[in-house]
Amino acid sequence: MLPGTLLPMISPETVDSRFKLDEKQAESLAQQFGTPLYVIDEAHFRHRIRRYIAAFQAAWPHSELTYASKANSTLGVLAIAASEGCLIDAASEGEFRAALAAGVPAGRCHLHGNNKSQKELAFAFENGIGQIVLDNFGEIELVADLAKSNPCPELVLRLAPGVDPVTHAKISTGQADTKFGFNLTDGAAEKALVRCLELGLPVVGFHCHVGSQLLDPEAQISGGELLAEFAARMLREHQFETRILNVGGGLGVHYTDSDNPMDVESYCQNLCAAIEQALQGTGLAPKLTQEPGRSLIAESGVTLYQVGVRKTVPSQKFGTRTYLAVDGGLSDNPRPVMYGSKYTVVPIRPSTEENQAFTISGKHCETDMLFEQVPLPADISEGDLVQVLCTGAYNSSMASNYNRYPRPCTALIRSSGEFALLQRQDTWDEMFTRESVPAGLQ
């Protein structure tokens, strides 16, 4: 374990590290796969993983990185993450099945979830999952029952440390008032550990995750510190030796030019230094785990759209507003509607025209406003391509068939520069294959 040295809390990532398509790539991809189109750059993604692993190991050599597959569970993405040494965090049976389908050994997977069913847990046991993160007391009893007739994977208790991060309320998970985990403040966490020990379950440590898109990482660092302090107290009071501390993910990314997340090297150093200080004198030397998802894959992806209708209308807010409708929208990126998320939009065609403010809307039967007051060349017109940066996370994984639109393709730019298909567009037959019209309705 390296001596921890706290760095300045604000150490922003000043370099724009987001992947961007050049004009030739964009036009070739649109011609080959159509639009809207998700694009992932393999070399960029691999670099992000390698940098995170190196930063983490420099701060805490006995460490391990787990990719949070909820960010993007496309099979090719999971295969790349696993090949770079990541374990896979699955938040459902479906995400676990995706990891298996991608060739990831079950023992390299972790199962999360705040309301796991007996069926989900049984599937995890039967397939030899490596770790289950326990979230509630009922789940402890379900796992104990399954363990009577099956080898039990290692178990980690998810704790709610009572930390309220600076992020959107809908992606904040570490506060006391949360559906996730065992609360530290009301004694539930200690009771959960005692119950597991009574049942003889193979608990190895503790987990917390305070939220996502954290541009100020102080909350995550505080969460890690509280986790370590709890581990120290459990050693004193229950002789429980913590072997794993999982401090979750949450480091923010550059959605817009004004976002300044802490660089991953400073983040890991500060996080590990706080944990080391909390463990000082205990003799505990646990493996540290982090679960980044967004911070690994988001900046490696873009979404490519084609511009359609251009329309200028009166606006109380702006005097006039000019809309650009693109050939996607709510069904391929619900985050602006859900969270008010903002993105950077970049034109593909070079232009000498000055920029004008446009509101980019989708084509769905909703307000479907994607990006408000985006600066784009004044001569942008129907048929032009635009790319939305930093869409590698929570776009493909949240996509739907709303208004019966097919979910887009995902294309991979290989490290060699060649294009490959990761996920094809839905077909019309697939869209209706789950449905039937009972006799007498037609």
Cβ burial 325-349 (10 Å sphere, 16+ → b, else e) = bbbbbbbbbbbbbebebbbbbbbbb
Nearest to 112 by CA among 56, 69, 176, 163: 69
| Cβ atoms of residues 35 and 306 within 8 Å | yes
Tell me the two tokens of residue 421.
């298909």
Q: Which helix (H) or strand (E) holds 79?
A: helix 75-83
Q: Is the peptide bond preceding residue 36 cis, with omega within 30 degrees of 0?
A: yes
Tell me the two tokens of residue 87.
């374990």
**CA 58 vs CA 4, 62, 86: distances in Å:** 11, 10, 16
Tell me the two tokens of residue 193.
């550990």
Number of Cβ within 10 Å of residue 45's Cβ equals 25
Three-state DSSP state, 23: helix
Tell me the two tokens of residue 109.
């997977």
The one-letter amino acid code at 433 reads: T
Three-state DSSP state, 407: coil
Q: Which helix (H) or strand (E) holds 421?
A: strand 419-423
DSSP string, 198-251: HHT--EEEEE---BSSBSSTHHHHHHHHHHHHHHHHHHHHH-----EEE----B
Q: Which helix (H) or strand (E) holds 40?
A: strand 37-41
- Helices and strands in the chain, H and E counts: 12, 18
At residue 73's C-alpha, the angle toward residues 70 and 75, to 5°, is 165
Number of Cβ within 10 Å of residue 429's Cβ equals 7
Active site amino acids: 365
